[in-house]
Chain A
């Protein structure tokens, strides 16, 4: 199993080299103009790359910032000036970046970040088909459950990678949302804060503002390090550990290397005790995020079948009901009985003894969108759906 992690500066790289991990390592490097949270300059990033390569560590360049056209062209300029052959691959998310690399650098391997959405095999296969051999890896969403991952790993020919430890990004805006609160009138390169809302059951969302905009992270971090064996067995051989925040590299890099080298077991790791935020498995066990909102609708107020006539729009107690005709034609001679279903689900079948227009004249037929009056029926409320009783049809 390959350990994929980020390196942001020389101290981190030196430490990583010194740890002499027994498992294959791949490092991701970035630079401020291209990479979402990177504080590394281009020059520094290139020097880091050179040192890592000398130490036989695979280096992948990350270009994951999303960019509107004008900024995108600037990023392309940066990309064009880089010695791209020095990198094992490039990681991209913006489809524009994908297209640019595909066409201009067809020899450069792509690690495609599909972390937002892309929750179906048909789509994943299509991405692989589009990029062909150039696609070296799919970086998948942390909203995928174990079952989904297992299925994908079995079928996809392209290797997949998931995050097994790190912050969960919740929100990415190009707008600068923190600096207006600072009001210092000086250009700040980067701001970090925590946000809490009384309207949310959670508090302490980590926030970052930098040149690319504003990012909000979950109050709990993802932790799947206790599932490495299972992931390996599923065929997921690239797992990413993100140690960029909260002094994590200093605190955990050694333990992570030991875990991946097999010299310590997961339950010996210090993480759970010292990590500043709760750790969660996210949706790894199950993703039921579509369950709640299917309950938001009242199915009974929805039209259902071919015998549909219309909807009750007014009720005058003991006098009449007003029915808005929604079918093409309403012919009294064809309809003797109607079935009414209230929003609460109560059903009533009644005979139609008369139908009147809105001025009280008896009528024998009505057209779509006409309003007619029918006899009062106890218990019927507005939004009741009216059907021809199927006995009549």
Chain B
């Protein structure tokens, strides 16, 4: 008997990352076009890439949601109907929206399914009821809502409910931060957030003459919800979202793999009493992250959810590359993302199951010239390892 589990919804910051997320187990991916979403700095998808991405995801049984969650101005809205037509043609599964003007435009010009973005900060039953009347089919709840509250919202409205399960968190109520607008001239609600909440601030309390206090007081820890999966399932939450369209292939692959394996285990066993739980958690620590917190999933986020630390790159692992071709018994062609050397021990992350160690016995260019070091942005040949497949991530322990 297969037990019900929520959809795992992973980020697709680029076409390549879409493939990685899907192949590592995402049931659905979300992505942005060239406009109308909040990740203007990420690669985003051209129409051709979108076409290929939707085809790829659908052929692997995964859904595609397109993010249109900017707070659009009138002139932006003029360009929207044409894009909606393209999305309908491509048969994307839904669009993620936060602005009422955008929702109205979608309803007027298409039959696209509307998911209300977390950007709209829907936090309670009454709010969900209002957005339901406005045409939302699914609500991506604000990250401030507990799972218990989400269950109530679902029960009261019958709407599909999506919650964040993993990734970075905006410290502000989503859609309620305009720091970048006023300090950098970039609209954070149209994709220009400059992450000012991650800065160090010196704080001077009013009516206190004491020295100022330095702190990263607005920087949130990252959300990790793997231990909350039983609660998500019990609450009937329809979709679990992984944040991170601007993050690496390693991140997209690892998080999709870990959560999909955990959910697959549950489907087979009806519980999470897997000896793999520890290794899943270890895997989540191998990708770039701030300290983890469960945010407000259980109780409202408190002091211990504040990161209060400098942004740093102290990854346990770095991505060495992505497999472009696995020539059985001969070699792997690797799109190099960071340098490695002959003799290095790498790890190949299969789409399912344990990672495999791979010793770089040879390192060659495509024409067969031996290399002393791989160069990011090049393609190299390294030894074949059984089980390796195209789009597998290859990583190396950071020194």
Contact = CB atoms under 8 A, between A and B. Distances in A.
Interface of A: 66-70, 72-73, 94-100, 116-124, 126-127, 130, 143, 148, 151, 168-182, 191-202, 205, 207, 214, 216, 218, 220, 282-283, 287-294, 296-297, 302-304, 308, 313-316, 319-320, 322, 324, 326, 358-360, 368-371, 373, 382-383
Interface residues of B, number: 104
B204 A194 contact: yes
A64 B11 CA distance: 33
B102 to A, nearest CB: 8
B105 interface: yes
A201 B183 contact: yes
B356 interface: no
8 smallest CB-CB distances across A and B, nearest first, come from A123-B101, A96-B127, A117-B71, A289-B187, A96-B126, A314-B379, A120-B101, A122-B101
13 contacts: A120-B72, A120-B101, A173-B172, A179-B303, A180-B306, A197-B202, A282-B182, A289-B185, A293-B41, A313-B324, A313-B335, A322-B366, A326-B48
B212 to A, nearest CB: 8
B383 interface: no
B367 interface: yes
A270 B146 CA distance: 48
Contact of A175 (B105, B124, B133, B171): B171
A173 B123 CA distance: 13
A120 B177 contact: no
A386 to B, nearest CB: 13
Given A177-B218, A316-B365, A96 B176 contact: no
Contacts of A70: 146, 149
Contacts of B203: 178, 181, 193-195, 207
Given A69-B152, A95-B130, A119-B73, A218 B200 contact: no
A106 to B, nearest CB: 14
Nearest to B197: A171
A205 B130 CA distance: 35
A199 B218 CA distance: 14
A54 B214 CA distance: 50
Nearest to B146: A68
Contacts, number: 288
B357 interface: no
Given A97-B126, A293-B186, A193 B181 contact: no
A120 B99 contact: yes
Interface of B: 34, 40-41, 43-44, 46, 48-49, 52, 71-74, 76-77, 98-105, 120-131, 133-134, 142, 144-146, 149, 152-153, 171-173, 175-179, 181-187, 189-192, 196-197, 199-207, 212-213, 215, 217-218, 220, 296, 300-303, 305-306, 308, 324-325, 327, 330, 333, 335, 365-369, 377-379, 381, 390
B378 A382 contact: yes
A117 B189 contact: yes
Given A72-B126, A118-B99, A173-B172, A197 B121 contact: no
A324 B333 CA distance: 12
A70 B379 CA distance: 54
B124 A69 contact: yes
B105 A122 contact: yes
Given A120-B101, A316-B367, A289 B181 contact: yes
Contacts of B303: 176, 179-180
A353 B190 CA distance: 47
A174 B105 contact: no
A55 to B, nearest CB: 33
B153 to A, nearest CB: 7
